[in-house]
Structure 1
């Protein structure tokens, strides 16, 4: 007697229940990603995680790092030094004619030409020192809210300050101070903490 007959005492063979109704489904073979159930879309991609594990992008330092503050102070010292140099050049111009007269140069035409040339050079350096001080002052006020360009400009500014410091060594000795402070400005502005401060996200 076959199992398919209706009068069989053994009855029909048991049917396998549909998966998902009281029986666990078998997982996919190892190495195969799980598939979404039919009737539903693919699983949404997880948002990129920050290395810290919190799922938010890095916010950057909340306050200006000490090394960046030191760079700002060094920049301020260079600005002040150039302002002092501009003042000394201005004072030199005020007494220039009197000094030339005491030296007896006013009566000699050839000597007068050299005196006028020297006066023109003093005026040039006066304007250069004044412009350099103003540029540094504008850069100084950008440290709190400026971007990475402020850091790059500070490094370039420090490089030019070293050159101006070399010219000022023979004048009043302020050049030695400018060279030392300019080197510190370049080092502090190039630090990683300073880069992170100027590259922090702004909302």
Structure 2
């Protein structure tokens, strides 16, 4: 047996090396060791993407649209109140008793006009609460906002067609922006 052949697997180690029997004595740096594969990093969301730390653009837009609805509701309250006061004052005017257009308007009772004032005011307060709760609300606020937006869109189509068209468009946009994946991630984020 000759130990001088460098290709001999049974020969003596060359250049002061130790024999490489079994597992290596020291793992090289930067390479994973033997055994189990390296696990992915643990996330707080149990496999879900991390929650957003800042409000997504679509949710921020929904908040702005809710503020626009609040402004339109206040404008509606002012117009309905002015109409109720004007109709009450004009019912006593003798010159308008023969005017058919005014009589059609006067057929609405002042109680109904004041009821519309109250409804517009309550609807504006609900929109105000939804706009204020966008930043801190949970999933319940998200669902409430979507229901509010859908009902607003329907009311904008049926009884208030002329002035409700703007409300319908705004409400549909709010429902879409709050109901999409970004909205769900924002409202379902953990709050500590």
TM-score by length of 2: 0.68
2:176 to 171, 183, 187: 187
**Corresponding residue of 2:163:** 174
Q: Could you list the runs of 4 or more consecutive aligned residues of structure 1 that deviate by over 3 angstroms after TM superposition? A: 114-117
1:131 aligns with 2:122: yes
Partner of residue 61, structure 2: 70
Displacement, 1:56? Answer: 2.8
Q: Distance in 2 between matches of 1:97 and 1:117?
A: 10
* Counterparts of 2:139 and 2:109, CA distance in 1: 41
Structure 2 match to 1:30: none
Alignment RMSD (CA, Å): 2.5
Is 1:140 aligned to 2:131, yes or no? yes
CA contact (8 A) 1:75 1:185 kept: yes
Check the 8 A contact 1:78/1:178 in 2, yes or no.
yes
SS where residue 173 of structure 2 aligns?
A: helix
Cα deviation, 1:18-62, whole Å, max 9, x if unaligned, reads xxxxx989xxxxxxxx9xxxxxxxxxxxxxx8xxx3313134101
- Give the unaligned 5+ runs of structure 1: 1-22, 26-33, 35-48, 106-110
Residue aligned with 1:200, SS = coil
1:54 corresponding residue in structure 2: 41
Partner of 1:6: none
| Larger-Rg structure | 1
Separation (CA, whole Å) in 2 of partners of 1:118 and 1:97: 9
Query: Does the aligned pair in 2 maintain the 1:81–1:174 contact within 8 Å?
Result: no
What residue in structure 2 maps to residue 86 of structure 1?
77
- For structure 2, list consecutive stretches of 5 or more residues without a partner in the other structure: 1-20, 24-34
Structure 1 residue 116: Cα displacement: 7.4
The question of whether the paired residues in 2 share the 8 Å contact of 1:78 and 1:161 is answered with no
**Count of equivalent residues:** 146
- Where do residues 10-49 of structure 1 align in structure 2 (5 Å cutoff)? none
Aligned runs of 1:149-164 on 2, under 5 Å? 149-164=140-155
1:74-97 C-alpha deviation (Å, 9 max, x unpaired): 211222211111110111122122
CA distance in 1 between partners of 2:150 and 2:128 (Å) = 16
Measured in 2, the distance between the counterparts of 1:137 and 1:201 equals: 24
SS in 2 for 1:62: coil
- Residue deviations 1:93-122, cap 9 Å, x none? 2212222223238xxxxx8xx957521111
